[in-house]
């Protein structure tokens, strides 16, 4: 595979709920065109929409949300960058949740523990990022950039590519 990604979507979106479903469908269709693996395409599109939902829910209003989906050798990366309130408790909660998820031996054990916790405290939250790991099959990283933006990255092991594939490149200004 060449060093240049075959899938590279970069979308700058308003911090609103309305475009999320359309973006989910677009990501799925793009991945389907390249990989042809429905389960993998569903997983990548779900990961994209979960990360976008978190960005809209916890990010600053009036600041755009950046979604990047790109293929690298043996993986697809979904990255969402959004502005957060300086010192936001949501960032600490997310970092703690990611550390908690990494404490489990298997994604299934983590998912089961998260469902059990949600059963006992339905207001606890955090199931979306758990879904990214368990259902999406991703590894999740998070960092606050010098700009004050929050960058959440999900790395999904990629399926084997179709023998003949199409290069997809979509960018918004």
Lowest mean pLDDT, pick from 24-28, 147-151, 167-171: 167-171
Residue 97's CATH number: 3.30.565.10
In a domain, 133, yes or no: yes
pLDDT in tens, 130-165: 999 999 999 999 999 988 899 999 999 887 555 444
Specify whether the CB–CB gap between 82 and 68 falls below 8 A. no
In a domain, 37, yes or no: yes
In a domain, 117, yes or no: yes
Where are the strands (E) in 21-87, listed by range? 65-72, 75-83
Give Cβ neighbours of residue 136 (< 8 Å, ≥ 6 apart): 43, 44, 46, 47, 50, 154, 156
Tell me which residue range forms the domain holding 43.
7-171
In a domain, 1, yes or no: no
In a domain, 24, yes or no: yes
In a domain, 155, yes or no: yes
- Please tell me which residue, 109 or 162, carries the higher pLDDT value: 109
pLDDT in tens, 55-94: 999 999 899 999 999 998 889 999 999 999 877 898 999 9
Number of domains in the chain: 1
């Amino acid at each position: 595979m060449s060093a240049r990604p075959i899938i590279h979507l970069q979308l700058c979106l308003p911090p609103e709920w309305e475009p999320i479903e359309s973006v989910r469908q677009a990501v799925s269709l793009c991945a389907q065109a390249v990989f042809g693996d429905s389960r993998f395409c569903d997983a990548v599109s779900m990961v994209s929409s979960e990360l976008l939902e978190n960005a809209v829910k916890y990010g600053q209003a009036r600041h755009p949300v950046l979604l990047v989906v790109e293929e690298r050798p043996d993986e697809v990366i979904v990255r969402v960058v959004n502005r957060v309130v300086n010192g936001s408790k949501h960032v600490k909660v997310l970092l703690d949740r990611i550390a908690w998820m990494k404490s489990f031996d298997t994604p299934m054990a983590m998912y089961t523990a998260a469902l059990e916790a949600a059963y006992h405290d339905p207001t606890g939250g955090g199931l979306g990022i758990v879904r990214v790991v368990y259902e999406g099959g991703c590894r999740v990283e998070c960092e606050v950039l010098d700009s004050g933006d929050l960058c959440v990255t999900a790395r999904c092991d990629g399926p084997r590519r179709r023998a003949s594939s199409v290069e997809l490149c979509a960018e918004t200004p």
